Amino acid sequence: MTTKITVKTGLHARAHCPVSVACALPVGQAVSLKAADGTVLPAQVFEQNGASALAFVIDSLPAKTEVSYELCDGAAPVAGVTLKQHDEQIDVLCGGALFTTLHYGSKWAKPFLFPVIGPYGSTMTRSYPMIPDVAGEPKDHPHQKSFWTAWGDVNGTNSWEEKTAFGTIVCKDARILENGPVRARIALSCDWLSENGSKLMEEEREYVFYMLPASARAVDMSVRFKATNCPVTFGDTKEGGICSIRVASSMDASGAGTIVNSYGAVGESETWGKRAEWCDYYGPVPGGTVGICIMDNPTNYCYPTYWHVRNYGLMTANPFGLSYFLNDKKANGSLSIAQGTGVDFRYRVLFHAGCCQHAGVATKYHDYVNPPKVTIAEA
């Protein structure tokens, strides 16, 4: 009996596209896939919603193509994605090289990922204030730490800025859920606290890191906010982002960088406060041009989201700041969740080589929201 995995690419060409399919294999079993030409693809069995699923990455297939693979025992000989936890941080290594580090310790007001190492070995996000004196970096907005989540009005508490009185996001637990040849996953459990230390709500956050070429690293982030203690209101403010990035200063659109959204709008004047399925920020770093794209998920509240994106290097997915974005004080974008309920958000963040067009960001977005169809059957 042979287990066959069939992929139908659909209307889009696929390159370095992560996919998964439900399966009956034991979680953690070492497997790989073999194509008809003998090519072996790394594969990984992981836990998904209490069941097993099989993950792998499509290397390169044209649109409107169907291809089958044979499931084989034994892992492909690749380094994959490895997580290493130490000193209140978790290093993410892709193919043995550092990609990023999650910082969640008590010395910080909120968890964040830094650095993010791009295709040319250069850091793609701003180093300040984690590294305070980097030549050419401005020292504005010290609360904008690389790659993070925060909001400026949660029941009146400002967890976005870090001034004299502000809320904090305290990590209670950081867990490595899986490592492997295809993907690795981290889970965080956090309490959002007011400036006086009272609990506002709980957050469950997960990051999935895929083993893709350095020219196109991808991170899936999911966030669940839970109103465990009281009703929770996310206030209408531009000062916040569920998925937030501060790009490397050399990439700033006030200089040599460029902002582009899914509708083709360019620059802060055309993209700030506008809705779009994705927003891409690209520019030069030592070695070449790189870009960062945040992709909104159709299941998210207020999809397609509004964007708080600035020429000085900030890019955030902001679904609640309508009165600012519409320039209408009568507009109210706030969201309230009743005690005992919650709200979920999901994003994919693509760290790519080249400009938006060179990286094929529009097609990569379809990899995320309109993925190939994958089936598994005994043959």
CA distance 141 to 199: 25
Residue-level pLDDT at 75: 87
- Strand 373-378, strand 97-103: pairing: unpaired
Strands (E), 264-354: 278-285, 288-296, 306-309, 314-318, 335-337, 342-353
Question: How many CA atoms, within 13 angstroms, populate the side-chain half-sphere of residue 257?
Answer: 29
Residue-level pLDDT at 378: 81
Residue-level pLDDT at 164: 85
Of all helices (H) and strands (E), which one includes residue 365? helix 361-369
Residues of the chain below pLDDT 50:
none
**Which residue matches tokens 């508490």?**
157
The tens digit of pLDDT for each residue in 78-114 reads 889 999 999 999 999 999 999 999 999 999 999 999 9
Residue-level pLDDT at 348: 98
How far does CA 262 lie from the centroid of its chain? 17
What is the Cα gyration radius of the chain?
Answer: 21
207: helix, coil or strand? Answer: strand
Of all helices (H) and strands (E), which one includes residue 269? helix 268-271
16: helix, coil or strand? Answer: strand
CA distance 208 to 99: 13
Residue-level pLDDT at 91: 98
CA distance 149 to 240: 8
CA distance 353 to 289: 6
Residue-level pLDDT at 76: 85
363: helix, coil or strand? Answer: helix
Respond yes or no on whether the N-terminal peptide bond of residue 304 is cis (omega within 30° of 0).
yes
Tokens of 212: 């893709």
Of all helices (H) and strands (E), which one includes residue 324? helix 322-325
What number of other Cβ atoms are within 10 A of residue 38's Cβ? 6
CA distance 33 to 40: 6
Contact 356, 266 (CB under 8 A): no
**pTM score:** 0.97
For residue 102, with 0-12 CB atoms within 10 Å meaning exposed, 13-18 middle and 19 or more buried, which class applies?
Answer: buried
Of all helices (H) and strands (E), which one includes residue 361? helix 361-369
Residue-level pLDDT at 129: 97
Tokens of 105: 């310790």
Residue-level pLDDT at 77: 86
250: helix, coil or strand? Answer: helix
Question: Sheet containing 66-73: which strands, arranged edge to edge?
Answer: 14-23, 51-61, 40-48, 31-34, 66-73, 3-8, 373-378
- Strand 373-378, strand 112-116: pairing: unpaired
